[in-house]
Amino acid sequence: MKDLTIDNITENVHFINAQCSDRRLKFILERLVSHAHDLVRETRLSTEEWMEAIQFLTQVGQTCTETRQEFILLSDILGISLLVDAIDHPKPPGASEGTVLGPFHTHEAQNIEHGGGIASDPEGEPLLVLCTVRDSAGKALENVTIDVWETDSKGFYDVQYANHDGPDGRAILTSDKDGIFWFKAIVPVPYPIPSDGPVGKLLAKLGRHCYRPSHMHFMFNHPIYDPLITALYLKNDPYETSDAVFGVKNTLVVELGRVEDEAIASKYGVKVGSALMTYDFVLVTKEEALNLRYKNAAAAMKAQGKKMDYLNGLPVPEVD
């Protein structure tokens, strides 16, 4: 542990970290240190650059507040959030796909009844959202908890306002016995992710725009089913193919309809001609997701030539 050089330091850091009794943490740290050191070696990172990176990370941390998570934003714009979700919540064919949570989910949303309104903004275009949630065999799922959230018509979430004093543009619903849930909202608009912080400045340096295409967030929870964090994106949005946080998937792009029928308009308490978003979500069971996660992990480890044990479905190197 003396005379550490460019070439031997990595093994030495592994050696001292190998005392860790948590096998999973030890494995993650071993991979983290290897990749961090390789990054430095491959780029021949200079002290000045590293100090700039340290300052950047410090600013990211210090930009975080109770209602703003700049590290999640950083993770989002580097595609890490999407990747982690894809690994952690694998979907078999037919199941609804997941996408990035984003930094604006909160725990302030109130439960509302079907048909309730989630958005107070009078300038937003009224939208009726009419969805179902089913299992992969097509069975309606009752009592699924659904968090929904969106920005106002200016592209800001409630918590982004300095004078924010309660939830707006968000609510929690529970699916009924037919797997239906419905609510009134406003037509989503494209918006910039917060660009006044260090992550926004990084995007500018990279020559990237900071826009997300119009979307509505949905999060599904149920004791038996794997949590689904997803969003629906509006077709033909100008940012449909260049989302700053890599969230768009073809199966999550929807074309808004119109409430054409007087009876329907009356049933749901909206005007004829109102914008309409419909979607049939399909959840997989926790067991099915766990099995698929394990199967994918085992295949990936095999492809890397690694023999692994699994703790709670997560790989750790075999003990010698």
Site for a second copy in 1-60 (CB under 8 A): 1-6, 9-10, 12-13, 16-17, 19-22, 25-29, 31-33, 35-50, 54, 57-60
Q: Of 10 and 175, which CB lies nearer to a second copy in the complex structure? A: 10
Structure tokens at 291: 């099995």
Question: Which residues have a Cβ under 8 Å from the Cβ of 276 and sit 6 or more positions away?
Answer: 127, 128, 130, 256, 257, 258, 259
Separation between Cα atoms, residue 298 and residue 90, nearest integer Å: 14
Show the binding pattern over residues 225-244: x = contacts a second copy (CB under 8 A), - = does not. ---------------xxxx-
Secondary structure (3-state) at 217: strand
Distance set, CA 20 to CA 9, 72, 226 (Å):
18, 27, 31
Residue type, 272: V
**Residue position matching structure tokens 């766990």:** 290
Structure tokens at 231: 């969003």
Tell me the window of 159-167, 169-177, 215-223, 245-253 that interacts with a second copy (CB under 8 A). Answer: 245-253
Q: Which of residues 124-153 bind a second copy (CB under 8 A)?
A: none
**Residue position matching structure tokens 């308009």:** 265
- Taking each continuous run of H as one helix and of E as one strand, the counts in the chain are 8, 13
Minimum separation from the CB atom of position 237 to a second copy (A): 12
Minimum separation from the CB atom of position 259 to a second copy (A): 28
With CB under 8 A as the contact rule, the residue among 137, 206, 263, 319 that binds a second copy is: 206
Residue type, 107: H
Q: Does 83 bind a second copy (CB under 8 A)?
A: yes
Minimum separation from the CB atom of position 311 to a second copy (A): 11
Q: Of 75 and 132, which CB lies nearer to a second copy in the complex structure? A: 75
Q: Of 115 and 313, which CB lies nearer to a second copy in the complex structure? A: 313
| Count of residues interacting with a second copy (CB under 8 A) | 84
Which residues does residue 117 pair with via DSSP β-bridges, in sequence order?
Answer: 184
Separation between Cα atoms, residue 174 and residue 181, nearest integer Å: 7
Q: Of 122 and 223, which CB lies nearer to a second copy in the complex structure? A: 223
Minimum separation from the CB atom of position 136 to a second copy (A): 20
With CB under 8 A as the contact rule, the residue among 249, 254, 279, 285 that binds a second copy is: 249
Structure tokens at 97: 């796909």
Q: Of 31 and 271, which CB lies nearer to a second copy in the complex structure? A: 31
Minimum separation from the CB atom of position 270 to a second copy (A): 31
Instruction: Give the angle subtended at the CA of 251 by the CAs of 107 and 141, to the nearest 5°.
Output: 55
Q: Of 57 and 272, which CB lies nearer to a second copy in the complex structure? A: 57
**Residue position matching structure tokens 């949905």:** 218
Separation between Cα atoms, residue 295 and residue 37, nearest integer Å: 30
Q: Which of residues 267-306 bind a second copy (CB under 8 A)?
A: 293, 296-297, 300, 304
With CB under 8 A as the contact rule, the residue among 133, 189, 248, 275 that binds a second copy is: 248
With CB under 8 A as the contact rule, the residue among 122, 166, 207, 305 that binds a second copy is: 207
Parallel, antiparallel or unpaired: strands 253-254 and 257-258: unpaired
